[in-house]
Amino acid sequence: MKKTLLLVVSSFLWISSAALLAQPLRGVCGTSLEDQLFMEPRLLANLERTSGSGVQERGSIQYVPVHFHLVGDNAGQGRVLESRVLDQLCALNEAFAPMNIRFFLRPHPVHGKLFNYNINNNNVYDNQTAWFTMQSQRHPNAINVYIVNQAATNSNQTGVTLAYYNPQRDWIVSRKDQINGSKSNSTLPHEFGHFFSLQHTFFGWESKPFDNSFPSWPNAPATSPGGVATERVNGTNCTTAADKICDTPPDYNFGFGATGCSYNGGARDPLGELVSPMANNMMGYFNFCSEYVFTEQQRSVILADRASNQRNYLNNNFSPIATEINTPTQLLIAPVGGANVPFFDEVTVEWRSVVGANYYLVEFDIVGSFSSSFAQAFITSDTSLVVRTLQPNRNYQWRVRPFNEYVTCAAARQSSFRTSGTSANREIEALARWHLAPNPLKAGVPLQLWVETSAPFQGDVLVFDAAGRLTYAQRGWYFTTGKQTLELPAEAFSQAGLYFVLLQGSGGRSAQRIAVVR
């Protein structure tokens, strides 16, 4: 049965499938009580730094580097769209604007790219058990965010983990469906709050929210199910109970069961005082709030954590080339307006230079939403791009979004063209011969690609099914002189039928067919 993922965009989301509509699973943060206890000494040290001085000085902007790892499955598929990551960075910067913290994209010191595409591993994509792979790819001088299909932790909470901060590894993991630019989705800002040592406002109640199933209802017990002191409404124990933050009112995980951005369930604290939580707090669990915020003391803790020696690895001298980008209406030059292009496998697109931009996100798809299985995206610093991976006789939408490392909110401009059935295929000069084995290939078996070259070159290995869908991509592979063998994963050939394996590089390309049988 085909399953449908139903998401209501909010602080932490409800998730259900066609098979589970009667019992929808609640989205939760995977940063466990144990994780928060592990980082509590940092929180207490940060609170100590802020005591007596109130809110930390926020007079000048400080830029904090972040590096996003766009994780794929074993076949290199399923990555989050780059446009969503740019949108998410906008939302992060807005959420942290009251602290004058601005996040920026920091290229990796090894692979040199804004985003990391090098992790193609189901054990990262679906469960994060291949932590050595994650560690080997991490940026040493940025906040590392791994965007995956399923975020998996042992948080002992009922529901689906949407994201988590791992304090032992000091990285953040998020499901790809949580990456967007909505103010009503606090998932990633929430995890950044954990990164900067904040606990849940309901700390101690993660595994069991307080409700009328408790024998003491409506009065909460003095100690939470997690063994943490229950915070009182009068604030007399706010420095030692729950999240240790005194300007966040008591919250016994009321958001987990709430259907909106409010609570009137009648719960009382251990002294019998009626509890009124802060529903739109960034570190809570309430849904459907139009916007989420940090309190003044939470902001001070974040700033203190950033200023601590443990965060020295984030230090930098970054200064954006521009703090605003205005996209001209007539950005795109050609092809536009549904124009016919001469080739399908060599399409040149052009656009105008935009002041303040040093990167452009260029996207192609057969639908205007840029969300189909045919969607492709490229990041370039040029104002033109040659695309060699489109299909013949297709109507394509394309759009360009200017941005720089810090400003990622600029509008994109969109137009269309139609490819022809003619190929601009040219052979790769350095490619002496190559073949695929076995052919035909049995489904579930890897394919061997045998290559012999007369000179080294760098190229791409792409696999398309008969419908033109990209099923595997190994980009930037370095072919040495002589004979070599590559193994293409079985996942690239998951269904019986005809496939095309394309080698491209050094100004040429070569394609071969492979039949997959059951």
Q: Per residue in 100-132, pLDDT tens? A: 999 999 999 998 899 999 999 999 999 999 999
Torsion sign (Cα): 350, 353, 359, 361 = negative
pLDDT in tens, 459-472: 889 888 766 678 89
Right CATH number for 431-517 from 2.70.70.10, 2.60.40.1930, 3.90.550.10, 3.30.43.10? 2.60.40.1930
What is the pLDDT, as a whole number, of residue 1? Answer: 29
- Residue 332 near residue 351, CB atoms below 8 Å: yes
In the prediction, which pLDDT does 17 show?
33
Token pair for 307: 């200023």
DSSP 342-380: S-SS-EEEEE---TT-SEEEEEEESSTTS-STT-EEEEE
Dist. CA 243–CA 43, nearest whole Å: 9
Q: Name the token pair of 325.
A: 């980008």
Q: Is the preceding omega at residue 402 within 30 degrees of 0, hence cis?
A: no
Nearest to 244 by CA among 94, 66, 37, 415: 37
Q: Where in the chain is the domain with CATH 2.60.40.10?
A: 332-418
Crossing angle (nearest 10°) for helices 40-50 and 296-307: 100
Top-tier CATH class for 26-198+299-314: alpha beta
Q: How many whole angstroms separate alpha carbon 461 and alpha carbon 467?
A: 18
Cβ neighbors of 303 (< 8 A, separation 6 or more) are: 56, 58, 99, 101
CATH number of 332-418: 2.60.40.10
User: What is the CA angle 403-404-408, rounded to 5?
Assistant: 50
Site of tokens 């399409």: 347
User: What's the mean pLDDT in 51-70?
Assistant: 78
Residue range(s) occupied by CATH 3.40.390 in the chain:
26-198+299-314
- Integer CA distances (angstroms), 194 to 41, 190, 321, 447, in order: 13, 7, 30, 44
pLDDT at 10: 40
Does residue 182 register a pLDDT over 50? yes
- The CA distance from 81 to 399, in Å, is 14
pLDDT exceeds 50 at position 286: yes
For residue 319, CA distances in Å to 103, 227, 316 come to 11, 45, 9
In this structure, the chain runs to a length of 518
- The helix (H) or strand (E) run that includes residue 166 is strand 160-166
Distance (Å, whole) CA 449 – CA 433: 11
Q: Quote the pTM value.
A: 0.81
- Where in the chain is CATH 2.60.40.1930? 431-517
Mean pLDDT of 233-259: 96
User: pLDDT value at position 343?
Assistant: 85
Assess whether pLDDT exceeds 90 at residue 157: no
User: How much is the average pLDDT of 46-71?
Assistant: 82
Evaluate whether 268 touches 219 at the Cβ level (below 8 Å): yes
**Tens digit of pLDDT for each residue in 217-239?**
999 999 999 999 999 999 999 99
**Residue 47 three-state SS:** helix
